[in-house]
Structure 1
Amino acid sequence: MTQPSPHPTLTPQFCFSTVALRDFLRISRASIDDSITQNLNALYTPAGQGFDPSSTSVRAPRPQNSRQIAPSSCRAFKDQVLFPSWQVRSDVLNYCASVATSPDPDDPESVLRQVESERDRERVVNERLDPYSARFFPREARTEMLAAVVRQERSVEKIIRARSWGLVGERCGGDFREWEEAMNEWRKAREK
């Protein structure tokens, strides 16, 4: 069975290095969600029912539940691989969101932004002479950039989880809850 994503060391530097943050998310998604079909196929054991030699004599459409995975295998996959990986990614995104909303005294560009802001206040704009002179693009604080990255990655995460959960529901059968509800129940069961 696939292993859940390992928990990275969470530091503000990890979050501010958006390349490291996105690489972690990309690798975690690739190993679990992007290969969800292969992971589920690995749980399927067609020889469990035994081979029926008469099945090759007549061509018949495949029954609807012919590719259903055993409920115990599905439960183990969800509880030991899928939900823990999602939880790690949620923990990382929540931590980085808290870093993005905290004050950042170590921001290397804060002085530069203050100087640009002062210059902007002193600028005299004559749009008649230069219609583009009113344009001013202030630098974003790195916390603002991180907040935008976290928002974007959370949106991606929702889409990926909905897709993965749909495939799990299709192959495992019987679970018609939304992924959020199933994950919340898993979290509550873990807390006990």
Structure 2
Amino acid sequence: MTQASSTEAPALTPQFCFDERLLQDFLRLSRSTIDDSIAQNLNALVTPAQRGFDPSSTAIRQTDSRARKAIDANACQGFKDNVLFPSWQTRSDVLSYCAGVATSPDPEDPDLILRETESARDRERVVNERLDPYSARFFPREARTESLANLVRNQRTVEEIIRARTWGMVTERCSSSSASWEDALNTWRQSHGR
């Protein structure tokens, strides 16, 4: 079984994190390759030709999802160990790195001088709310580290939802234990020295 190319970590640099479109594209591609197509990935693990074709299988329409053939335990474990968990780990590593970048000082912020100028102008402004009740409004520009922190926070929430959904399908089709995806991923991390 080959690893998906989406599990390959990009070069982690602050520039990668601050390019929010590139960061989101990497996460989106990784999710679409593994998690969004989990049913297809699991179906690919089934080898129907092992027993040969049974003509009676087409006599009755199979509408019950529980009637699906169980996937071989070794194939499931191989998929989880070689494709699913490495993909999740790579995305976790990227999000953790970018969270660190978001909480670090940003001396190369291109909007730093502009924000400082706007802030100084705002402090000097005289506000007469009786004449203009909206004159007190001031919307400071968000630092790119703040924007990145918000993006990472949102993407971590998305990861939680996607992993829970994916893990539900994996446990259903692979007859896995009912351990949570967090426990399963942590067990994999420990066994792979991560």
TM-score for the superposition, normalised by structure 2: 0.92
Distance in structure 2 (CA, Å) of the matches to 1:52 and 1:24: 43
Distance in structure 1 (CA, Å) of the matches to 2:182 and 2:29: 22
Tell me the alpha carbon deviations over residues 118-151 of structure 1, each in whole angstroms, 9 at most, x when there is no partner.
Answer: 1111111101111110110001110000000000
* 8 Å Cα contact 2:170-2:176 kept in structure 1: no
Match of 1:167 in 2: 169
- How many residues are aligned here? 191
* 8 Å Cα contact 1:2-1:39 kept in structure 2: no
Q: C-alpha displacement at 1:111, in angstroms? A: 0.9
Where does structure 1 lack aligned partners over 5 or more consecutive residues?
none
Where does structure 2 lack aligned partners over 5 or more consecutive residues?
none
Q: Secondary structure at the match of 1:191?
A: coil
Letter of the structure 2 residue corresponding to residue 175 of structure 1: S
Select which of 6, 17, 26 maps to 1:24. Answer: 26
Report sequence identity in percent: 63
1:58-97 correspondence to structure 2 within 5 Å: 59=60, 64=66, 66-97=68-99
Q: C-alpha displacement at 1:174, in angstroms? A: 3.0
Q: C-alpha displacement at 1:64, in angstroms? A: 3.6
Letter of the structure 2 residue corresponding to residue 186 of structure 1: W
Letter of the structure 1 residue corresponding to residue 98 of structure 2: C
Match of 1:3 in 2: 3
Match of 2:193 in 1: 191
Distance in structure 2 (CA, Å) of the matches to 1:32 and 1:25: 11
Match of 2:148 in 1: 146
Tell me the alpha carbon deviations over residues 76-98 of structure 1, each in whole angstroms, 9 at most, x when there is no partner.
Answer: 00000000000000000000000
TM-score for the superposition, normalised by structure 1: 0.93
